Every structure is written in structure tokens, then in C-alpha cells.
Structure 1
């Protein structure tokens, strides 16, 4: 089975972070979000994948290259105009040939057991299988209704103004048989949730819902982004955090310079080549990206410092996000803020 990672979205709801990077490249637990997806695919035996790109495509292409470093072969489809979730797949139909197709998002985090999902799909024998997750508030998701034998009987796209038909959210993780391509027109924008799936139901095609208890979260906005970072540190989602884990849920990357006279209370992740100076205090949950600097006697609480962030001496950072290479001057107080594209002078 081959896989396609959908990574062409603009990520407008995650601004201002996505002013700097594409949504799949936002950092989660010391790695880009999409890298966790690539590692999940490799873990379940996927050897070759396609990634579709549109916004800032060079960031993903430069990070992964041909995939050899990550143990998987990677191809890219750069869209000059957005093709939609289904239109993007149709564009690369030749890549899949007669193999089953796994579709997964590059801007959501999950530890779904893809092997079990594939076994479910083969057992049911349908044209399509959709991974479903029960959610508390279904208004922001496409939801589905299924029968006792897991057959999908109804779709409802983001029921904001009507009563939801269920709480079973469509995760955007699908397995298709190659016949799916006959239901997607060529060279046009086309969407799975709004067009393909309702069409399949109307034409009596068999689709099944795979309910999962695994972790799944669409990183839709800044608050959710913070929650996902902290879920990673708490071990709620099973992903590979880079660096060495120490007691009290503290992860440290390579070549870190931490003064002995510092206080770190986990869960905390500190990326490689970072410097923490004398008297600094770091209270978790906190994520500090690679090549970051925390000055003497500064305090970091429940915050996310992305790669290259610098905090001057005697500063306070609380419940905030510092974007890549952002600087906070000495003795500044920063609470409940997201800072990107600010002055880089310390």
C-alpha cells in the first residue's frame, strides 16, 4: 500500500504561526507536525509516499528531500492552484497504480494504528474506509452516521447551525481501493467530504467507518496548538520525542548547555544546541526549540519557544508562544501572547 499526505492547505486559522511556515511544518514536540506523520507511516510498513504541496512548498521539500534520511521514499506534487483533497489525489493517480491508497493529513497529529485500520478495510471489502473519532463538539468537523455493521449511512459537513447527526468526526484518514479514481473528475478542484463521499452514498457504493480510540487532533488554531504540544509532553499521544528523557518528564536534546544553577520542573522539552543560563527557571509544560537561548534569572512558564528563540536576562515568559528566531529583551514581561516577526534585537 502507498500513502498520500495532504499538505497543501494554507493554515489560515493558525496564523500568525503560518505566516512563517506552512501548517504541516509547525513544530510539535521538537519535530515538524508532518514529520510525525511520516514516522507513523514508516512504522506501519509504508515504504513510498506522495506529498501534495502548495503554500511554501520548499520548506517541506528541503526538510525531507527524497526521504532517504527518514527511511521512506518521498515524491512531491506541487499544485499551481489548489486542487482540493480529492482533486489533489486525482492529479497523482498514476503514482498509485492498482495499489490500495492511504490518505492522511499532514497538519493533524495522530498515533492511529494504521495496520489495524488496513486490516479493517480489507475485512469489510468496501470501496472506502474512513477513520472516525468521537468528539465532544462536532460543529467544527464533518461527522458521519454508521450502521451496526460499521457501514456509513449519512454524512454531514460541519453542522454549525443544525443538530449534528452524530459525534463521530471524520478524521481525514482514509483507505481507498483504486476504483475511487473513477468518482473524481480530472483537472478540477474536488473535495472528499463535500463531493466524493455524498456521491458515493447516492450511487450505493460501500463505505465503512473505523472507530478509533487513538489520539487524533486537527491543529486548527493557536489554543489547540498549545494543547497538542502539552499532550505530547504528557504522553497522551505516542510520538517520538527527540533527545534523551530524564526523570520528571524532562527531554534534553544533544549539545545543550544548561547551567547547574537552574531550575527545571517537567514536563519540559529543550531542543539541541540550546543554552539555559544561570538562575533561569523553567516550569512545565514548556517546549523550547533547537538553538534557543534563555538568559540568566529568566522565568519560562507553560510556554512554547520555537527554534532560535532568545529570551534576555530577568525576563518572564508565561502562557505564550515565541516564533522562530524571535527575541525578547531583558526584563520584559510577556504573558498570554503569540509573538512572530517582531524585532530580533535582544
Structure 2
């Protein structure tokens, strides 16, 4: 079985961060989402991985580096424009050939992986096997109507009146039968080849399509709120590790990682939290579910339930919570009542009244 990882989307919901990085490189517990995805793929024993990339493919390739560290061979497959998930299958057909394959969206996080589901697919081998999850508002997703035995009888993309609360998450297992389905469908009203339409085509022709409900935590990291929530869940599984320097005036409680080259002085860190390599935390308080990237400076500051990307500087500002601070960004405090803000496109700033 091969794997197809989709990493070509523009990430409009993650602005302003997606202006300067592919959304799949957003860090979760100091590792890009895409690295977490590849880890889930490789644990299935898959060693041939195709990654569909758009115009930022070079950034993704540079971030992943030597694919041998994942124990797999990576092939980058260009997609000129994001024309739908089924279109990704079409442009990857030469790579996929006649093999069964796993398709995994590059911005999806699944806490427990899909090893059992993959094994079920290998044994039963339906034309398509979907991973579904109950959601509060199915109107935002592809929705599956599923019989008690797991047979999918209908699949609808973002229905106005959903007949099920089972959303199709970004993980699919396919046999080569999907290629005929993709070739048979037409673009939807939004001009994309929808994978839900291709799977529905299989259903209507009597092909076996199954669904398995996912019991772990699933995150589509397409919005900043989802990124913070996903970061929280990953940090909850963190095992503490101190390879950097922590002075005797600091106190660490709970599971805290201080990476090599990082320095913590006169500070309190409540885990789960991670301090990235070569970062400095001084005279500060770091609350739980916080990730500090590499080469950051946190001075006389207080952060909780937040993410600071590589190179960020936060000085003299306390009470920072539920925040994402971009790469090489600076957050500081000045005396007096005036405030100075430099705010990029599509940003949100909340200040105290």
C-alpha cells in the first residue's frame, strides 16, 4: 500500500500565518503538522509516500529535509492549482499506479493513529474505506450516512440539512477502483473535483464502501482555534525531558520539555509545556499547554495556552493567553497610555480596555 498526503491548499483560514508559510508547516508541540501526519503514515508500514504540493512545494521539501529520517521514500507531486481532493488523486495516478493507497490530508491530526482501521481495510478490502467522526455541525463537512454494519449508503458534501452527524475526516483508504470514479465525475459548483462525489459514484455502482468511526481526538488544523486545541491535546501526552539548562531559582511542575541549548532562569513553568532549542526564558511564567519554539526570547513575560513560533520575542508583557505569535515576531510593552501596533493583513489584535 502507498500513501498520498495532500499539502497543496492555500490555508486562507490560517491567515496571517499562511501568508508566510504553508499551513501544513504550522507547528504543533514544536513539530510541523505535516511531520505528525508522516509519522502516522509510516507507523502503518507504508514506505512509498507521495506528497501533493502547490506553489509552496519547495518550502515543504526544505522543511521535511532528508526523507530517510522518516524511514520512507517521498515523491513530490505538483498540483498547479487546488482543484479538489479528487483532482489530487488524478494528478498522482502515475505515482499510485494500480496499488491500494491511503489518502491523508496534510493538515489533519489524529491522536491515536489509524493502525486498526488500516488493518481492517487490508482484510476486507472494500473499494473505499472512510474514517468518520461525530461532529456538532455536520454542515461544514462531507457527511456519511452509514448502516449499522459500517456500509456507507450515501455521501454528501456540506449538506444544508444533514441526515447524519458523521463527518468524513481527512483519512481515506482506496483500491484502484477510485481512479475510474475520479475520471467519471465533473467539477462541483465551486469548480473542484470532490472526493465525496467520486466515492458516491462508487456507491451508486454497487461497489463496497465502508466507514469506521474514529474514537480518538481529531483536529483539522485549518483555523487558529483548532491549532491551539490540537496543541493542547498533543502536549497532554508529553513526557518531560530536560536537556537544556534550568537554574536553581526556577521551578518546573508537571511534564515540561526543555530542549538542548535552551535556558530557563528565575522562571516558573507549569506543564505540559515545551521550550524549544536555544530559547531563553527569564523572569517569566509559562502556563500549561504552551509551546515555545526554537531561538525564542521570553523575558519578564507571562504566557499560557499559547504557541510562540521560532524566533519570537515576548518581553514585559504578562497575561498572554490563547495566542499564536508568529516567526521572528516581537511582542513588547512600553510605558504610558499610548499603544503602538504593527499589524499585518488578516491579523487579529485584542487589547485590554
Give the one of 252, 268, 272 matched to 2:273: 268
Q: Indicate conservation of the 8 Å contact 1:127/1:207, yes or no.
A: yes
- The alignment's TM-score, normalised by the length of structure 1, stands at 0.87
Q: Cα deviations across residues 266-298 of structure 1 (Å, max 9, x unaligned)?
A: 221111110112x21111221111111011x22
1:280 aligns with 2:284: yes
Partner of 2:171: 173
Tell me by how many angstroms 1:119 deviates.
Answer: 2.1
Uncovered stretches (5+) of structure 1, i.e. residues with no partner: none
Give the one of 245, 248, 253 matched to 2:254: 248
Compared CA separation, residues 314 and 133, structure 1 to 2 (3 A) = closer
Tell me by how many angstroms 1:185 deviates.
Answer: 2.2
Q: Cα deviations across residues 245-280 of structure 1 (Å, max 9, x unaligned)?
A: 985021221111111x11111221111110112x21
Compared CA separation, residues 214 and 198, structure 1 to 2 (3 A) = same
Q: Indicate conservation of the 8 Å contact 1:11/1:18, yes or no.
A: yes
Partner of 1:307: 310
**Distance (whole Å) between structure 1 residues aligned to residue 24 and residue 221 of structure 2:** 9
**Distance (whole Å) between structure 2 residues aligned to residue 217 and residue 250 of structure 1:** 23
- 1:90-169 counterparts in 2 under 5 A? 90-159=90-159, 161-162=160-161, 164-169=162-167
Q: Indicate conservation of the 8 Å contact 2:128/2:199, yes or no.
A: no
Tell me by how many angstroms 1:136 deviates.
Answer: 2.6
Q: RMSD of the TM alignment (CA)?
A: 2.7
Tell me by how many angstroms 1:96 deviates.
Answer: 2.0
SS in 1 for 2:169: strand
- The alignment's TM-score, normalised by the length of structure 2, stands at 0.85
Q: Indicate conservation of the 8 Å contact 1:120/1:210, yes or no.
A: no
Tell me by how many angstroms 1:65 deviates.
Answer: 3.6
**Distance (whole Å) between structure 2 residues aligned to residue 243 and residue 55 of structure 1:** 39
Partner of 2:209: 207
Partner of 2:330: 327
**Distance (whole Å) between structure 2 residues aligned to residue 178 and residue 59 of structure 1:** 31
Give the one of 223, 248, 262 matched to 1:221: 223
Number of aligned residue pairs: give it.
330
Q: Indicate conservation of the 8 Å contact 2:268/2:285, yes or no.
A: yes
Compared CA separation, residues 148 and 24, structure 1 to 2 (3 A) = same
Uncovered stretches (5+) of structure 2, i.e. residues with no partner: 245-251, 348-353
Q: Indicate conservation of the 8 Å contact 2:111/2:234, yes or no.
A: no
Compared CA separation, residues 314 and 151, structure 1 to 2 (3 A) = closer
Tell me by how many angstroms 1:340 deviates.
Answer: 6.0
Q: Indicate conservation of the 8 Å contact 1:324/1:340, yes or no.
A: no
SS in 1 for 2:63: helix
**Distance (whole Å) between structure 2 residues aligned to residue 62 and residue 227 of structure 1:** 27
